[in-house]
Amino acid sequence: MTDDLLKYRSEFPILEETVYLISHSLGAMPRATYERLHDYADKWATRGVRAWAEGWWDMPVTIGNEIARIIGADENTVVMHQNVSICQSLLLSCLLPLKDSKRNKIVFEELNFPSVMYAYEAHARAHGLRIEQVKSDDGITIPTQRMLDAIDEETLLVPMSHVLFKSAFLQDAKAITQRAHEVGAMVVLDTYQSAGTVPFSVKDLNVEFATGGSVKWLCGGPGAGYLYVRPDLIDQLQPKTTGWMAHEHPFAFESEMHYAPNITRFLHGSPAIPALYAAESGYKIINEIGVAAIREKSMRQTQRLIELAEEAGFRVTSPKDPAQRGGTITVWDDHAAEITKELIRREFIVDYRPGAGVRISPHFYTKDEELVLVVAEMKKIRDNGEYASEKAGAAF
């Protein structure tokens, strides 16, 4: 079978030296990113402060528009931030203080990414919010009905992960959002582990907000998070986590805040311009390929990984149903952490999460034979007891 997406392998230098199966953690860097970062340095070196007026100032929106295409959003509804923690805190600042409202409950799954939970727990202590964590029975999945049952008329916000980071369990975002809307609650969809590998549309899902980052499947590197706000809410909300870029007339340097009448009201201080330069190349490749084509290959390769792992005597902890699975396969062994360290030492780049095992992620640039190679290497390490020493490093 011809794999047309392999023509993109030459765009990613690290693939020449490693079996790179960790796009769930850090996507491979496009070759064009070298050029874009040189462009940034050249612009700063030759244009100086004029660079702001010649493109830098608009980049949180113009780069956000590239993300909008990937997540099915309208133009000018996505702005770039440094990370998801900032985005979640910024959104919550729009809704607080509650002024003794009974609608003060935050609902999220206990397998949410810890950084998100930390942000909400800190705000809960300061503002009297109640947090309900929806429990998992197996440490891998979250029962959808349990999420639905937790969302009631006292729920303010549901900050949910579209795909769980530990196991790649794909949650039913549509059902959860519909339930939230039935009782007047809002949804923040964290698409960090889905954007770029699972097709979806924030418009079709009708979520109020979505956020994510570029580190993983988008191949955009660190420091380039993004925030989507549903168009009908843009001029209704006033973030308290704010700054001069959110002002309607930032260069008037007024002492009072007057929010911009567009998506820029969800900005704050000066953006991380180098990160935006670095991120753009990955977005363009994802948009050129199309997420639907990436998903088709991902489902085929993750299914093959499951078969190979089980044939080798490993236990797969990711969901077997492709409709409930993102782009990652997790493989358990009692020595999974040590196997992971030894794989990395041998240039098979994967990672490990407690309770899930070795996380392995093919992407559009992955060869089928690399799936065979990584499982064979895992089996060899296990069968021969060739575990890495405790001093060996491990990827994030």
| pLDDT score for 395 | 54
The answer to whether 211 touches 84, Cβ cutoff 8 Å, is yes
Distance CA 267, CA 248 (A): 11
DSSP string, 191-236: -TTTTTTS---HHHHT-SEEEEESSSTT---TT-EEEEE-GGGTTT
CA distances in angstroms from 301 to 6, 108, 297, 322, listed in the order given = 13, 30, 6, 11
pTM: 0.95
CA-based nearest residue to 120, from 80, 146, 84: 84
The DSSP secondary-structure symbol of 266 reads G
| Residue 250 CB contacts under 8 Å (≥ 6 apart), including other chains | 244
| pLDDT score for 392 | 45
| pLDDT score for 126 | 86
| pLDDT score for 209 | 98
Pairing mode, if any, of strands 348-349 and 19-20?
Answer: parallel
Q: What is the mean pLDDT of each run of 10 residues along the chain (396 residues)?
A: 89 97 97 97 98 97 98 98 96 84 94 96 90 96 98 97 96 98 98 98 98 97 98 96 96 96 97 97 97 97 98 96 95 96 97 95 98 98 83 50
| pLDDT score for 154 | 96
The answer to whether 243 touches 268, Cβ cutoff 8 Å, is yes
CA-based nearest residue to 59, from 214, 231, 271: 271
Distance CA 346, CA 340 (A): 10
CA-based nearest residue to 282, from 22, 26, 17, 7: 26
DSSP string, 281-300: HHHHHHHHH-HHHHHHHHHH
| pLDDT score for 99 | 67
Where do the domains of the chain lie, and which CATH numbers do they carry?
4-29+290-384 (3.90.1150.10), 32-287 (3.40.640.10)
| pLDDT score for 243 | 97
